[in-house]
C-alpha cells in the first residue's frame, strides 16, 4: 500500500475523496461540559465546568495562565492571556464567589522573589479590566503569612491574585507540601490554564490531588480548548486536512504520527519540510535541516505511505541567499542548488495547498509555511491563512495552534474568522499527538 506516498511523488494527484461525513454541530453547540481524553481509552470524557458548581461565598482557587509577555520596562506588552481568563473570572464574581487566582510568570530560578517577574503588573491590568471589582495582590510570596491572611479576609465578589508560583521550586517539581498550602486556600478548584495543561506542575496536579473530595473543575477557556481540539480530532467532518509547518520536524513528528489515518491529508510546509525532502534524496541547498532526524523522517514517510492519509510536501520553494529583505530571490522546483535556502513554499505549492484547503470541511493548522516574519517570505503563510479563513466562512471548522502561526493570523486581521485559535502552543501540539493530560484527567467528570 503506497497510498499516502503516491501523493508525495505524483504531486498533482487528487486528494482522496471524503469517505465519511460526521456532523460536529452538536458537539460544538454544547456549552456546559468540557472534554478530555480518557487515558488509555482514546475516548472523550466530559469534564465539569466552573459554571456547573455552586460557588456563592465559597473560595474558588483558580489556576490561570497569566504568563504574559513583558517589555524591556517590565510592562505587559500583550494582555491577551489575562483577557482570555475573564469569562471564568466573571462567572465566579457574578455569583458572589471569592476568587483566588494563581499563575506562573516566566522562568524564575525558584529560589524566592524576583522583582522583574512579579505578577504585580498583571494585578494592575486585571483591576483595569474588572473595573469596580476589588483586586487584592500580595507581593513576594504565594504561601507566606500575608497570603494566608489575605485569603482569610477575602470578601464575596472579590479577587486575590497570588504572587508568581514559580518563585518556589516546589511549583515546577510538583511538590506535595507546597501544594498542600495552596490547596488549603480553596473550597473549589478550577483549572483554566490551558497553556500549561501539558505540565505536571504543583498547581496543575498536586493541588487538585490535595483537594480531593472538593469540586475540581475546568474553567471556560480550558473547556473551549478541549472541546475544539479533542472534538475536532475525534469527530471531524470530512475532508479533514492538517497543515503543519514551523522550524523543526522533531517538534511535529509525534503530531504527524497521530494524525496518520485520522486526517485525509497532511500538508507540510516551513523549514521542517526540508528534513523530509532531504530524506527522500532531494538536494535542499543550505536550507534549515535536522540531519539527526533523517531516519525518523524516512520512517514517518513510510508510515504515511502505508496509511490512508495523503502527506504532501512542497513541490517548489521561494529561496534566498540569506534571511533578509534585500536578498536575491529565486523559485526552485524539486531541488535547491547550493548557496540557496528555502524560506517559503513556492507558488505552485501555494496553489495546490489552496485547492485542497478550499474543499476541506475541517482544518487544523500548526506552524507557519515559511520564515513569514521576513518579507517576501510571508506569502505562503499569508495565503494559507486567508484560504483557511475563507473555508471557515463557508462553514468549515478551523482550529489554529502555535504561537507563531497565531501571531501571523492576528497580524493579518483574520483571527475572528477562525473557529478557534488555541492559546497553548505546546499543549495544543501535545493534544495533536494524542497525549492525555493528567491535569485535566483528574478533574471531575460531568
Name the residues annotated as catalytic.
81, 248, 403, 426
Contacting ligand ATP within 253-282 (CB under 6 A): 270-271
Nearer to ligand ATP, 183 or 406 (CB): 406
Q: Should residue 202 be labelled a site residue for ligand ATP when binding is judged by CB under 6 A?
A: no
Nearer to ligand ATP, 270 or 305 (CB): 270
Could you tell me whether strands 316-320 and 329-333 are parallel, antiparallel, or unpaired per DSSP bridges? antiparallel
What is the number of alpha carbons within 13 Å of residue 113 lying toward its C-beta?
Answer: 13
Q: From the CB of 404, what's the least distance to ligand ATP, in Å?
A: 3
Name the segment binding ligand ATP (CB under 6 A); options: 13-21, 100-108, 350-358, 363-371: 363-371
Nearer to ligand ATP, 132 or 328 (CB): 328
Name the segment binding ligand ATP (CB under 6 A); options: 5-13, 66-74, 88-96, 368-376: 368-376
Please count the residues of this chain forming the interface with ligand ATP, following the rule CB under 6 A: 21
Q: Using the rule CB under 6 A, which residue among 91, 258, 405, 423 binds ligand ATP?
A: 405
Nearer to ligand ATP, 366 or 397 (CB): 366
Residues forming a β-bridge with 294: none
Nearer to ligand ATP, 208 or 342 (CB): 342
Closest residue by Cα to residue 136 from 177, 145, 147, 144 = 147
Name the segment binding ligand ATP (CB under 6 A); options: 28-36, 242-250, 305-313, 348-356: 242-250
Name the segment binding ligand ATP (CB under 6 A); options: 85-93, 136-144, 189-197, 243-251: 243-251
DSSP 373-418: TSTTTTHHHHHHHHHHHHHHHTT-EEEEE-HHHHHHHHHTT-GGGS
Closest residue by Cα to residue 405 from 416, 417, 415 = 415
Contacting ligand ATP within 407-436 (CB under 6 A): 425
Given the C-alpha cell 517590565, which residue does it identify? Answer: 74
The Cα–Cα gap between 245 and 58 comes to: 45
**Burial category of 41 from C-beta neighbours within 10 Å (exposed 0-12, middle 13-18, buried 19 and up):** exposed
Q: Angle 192-444-89 (CA atoms, 0-180°, nearest 5)?
A: 30
Q: From the CB of 278, what's the least distance to ligand ATP, in Å?
A: 13
CB contact set of 48 (below 8 Å; sequence gap of 6+): 33, 34, 215, 217, 218, 443, 444, 445, 446
One character per residue 313-342, x = contact with ligand ATP (rule: CB under 6 A):
-----------------------------x
The Cα–Cα gap between 222 and 193 comes to: 7
Q: Using the rule CB under 6 A, which residue among 103, 275, 366, 392 binds ligand ATP?
A: 366
List interacting residues with ligand ATP (CB under 6 A): 246-248, 251, 270-271, 288, 342-343, 366-368, 370-373, 402-405, 425
Amino acid at each position: 500500500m503506497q497510498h499516502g506516498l503516491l501523493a508525495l511523488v505524483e504531486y498533482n494527484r487528487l486528494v482522496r475523496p471524503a469517505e465519511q461525513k460526521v456532523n460536529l454541530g452538536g458537539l460544538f453547540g454544547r456549552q456546559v461540559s468540557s472534554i478530555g481524553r480518557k487515558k488509555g481509552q482514546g475516548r472523550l470524557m466530559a469534564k465539569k465546568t466552573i459554571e456547573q458548581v455552586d460557588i456563592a461565598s465559597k473560595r474558588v482557587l483558580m489556576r490561570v495562565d497569566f504568563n504574559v509577555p513583558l517589555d524591556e520596562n517590565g510592562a505587559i506588552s500583550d494582555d491577551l492571556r489575562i483577557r482570555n481568563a475573564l469569562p471564568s473570572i466573571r462567572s465566579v464574581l457574578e455569583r458572589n464567589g471569592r476568587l483566588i487566582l494563581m499563575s506562573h510568570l516566566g522562568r524564575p530560578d525558584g529560589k524566592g522573589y524576583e522583582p522583574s517577574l512579579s505578577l504585580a503588573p498583571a494585578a494592575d491590568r486585571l483591576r483595569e479590566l474588572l473595573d469596580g471589582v476589588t483586586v487584592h495582590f500580595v507581593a513576594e510570596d504565594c504561601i507566606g503569612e500575608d497570603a494566608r491572611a489575605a485569603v482569610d479576609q477575602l470578601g464575596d465578589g472579590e479577587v486575590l491574585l497570588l504572587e508568581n508560583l514559580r518563585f518556589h521550586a516546589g511549583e515546577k517539581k510538583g511538590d506535595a507540601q507546597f501544594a498542600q498550602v495552596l490547596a488549603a486556600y480553596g473550597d473549589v478548584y478550577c483549572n483554566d490554564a490551558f497553556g500549561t495543561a501539558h505540565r505536571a506542575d504543583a498547581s496543575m496536579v498536586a493541588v487538585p490531588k490535595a483537594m480531593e473530595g472538593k469540586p475540581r473543575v475546568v474553567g471556560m477557556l480550558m473547556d473551549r480548548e478541549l472541546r475544539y481540539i479533542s472534538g475536532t480530532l475525534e469527530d471531524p467532518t470530512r475532508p479533514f486536512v492538517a497543515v503543519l509547518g514551523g522550524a523543526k520536524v522533531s517538534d511535529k513528528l509525534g503530531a504527524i504520527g497521530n494524525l496518520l489515518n485520522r486526517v485525509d491529508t497532511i500538508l507540510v510546509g516551513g523549514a521542517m519540510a526540508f528534513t523530509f525532502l532531504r530524506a527522500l534524496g532531494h538536494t535542499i541547498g543550505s536550507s534549515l535541516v535536522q540531519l539527526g532526524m533523517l531516519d525518523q523522517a524516512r520512517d514517518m514517510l513510510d508510515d504515511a505511505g502505508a496509511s490512508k492519509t495523503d502527506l504532501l510536501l512542497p513541490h517548489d520553494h521561494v529561496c534566498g541567499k540569506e534571511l533578509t529583505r534585500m536578498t536575491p530571490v529565486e523559485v526552485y522546483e524539486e531541488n535547491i542548488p547550493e548557496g540557496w535556502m528555502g524560506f517559503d513554499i513556492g507558488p505552485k505549492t501555494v496553489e495546490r495547498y489552496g485547492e485542497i484547503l478550499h474543499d476541506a470541511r475541517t482544518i487544523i493548522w500548526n506552524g507557519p509555511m515559511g520564515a513569514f516574519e521576513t518579507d517576501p517570505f510571508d506569502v505562503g503563510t499569508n495565503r494559507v491563512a486567508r484560504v483557511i479563513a475563507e473555508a471557515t466562512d463557508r462553514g468549515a471548522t478551523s482550529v489554529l495552534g502555535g504561537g507563531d502561526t497565531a501571531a501571523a493570523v492576528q497580524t493579518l486581521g483574520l483571527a475572528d474568522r477562525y473557529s478557534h485559535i488555541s492559546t497553548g502552543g505546546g499543549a495544543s501540539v501535545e493534544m495533536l499527538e494524542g497525549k492525555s493530560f493528567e491535569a485535566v484527567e483528574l478533574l471531575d467528570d460531568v
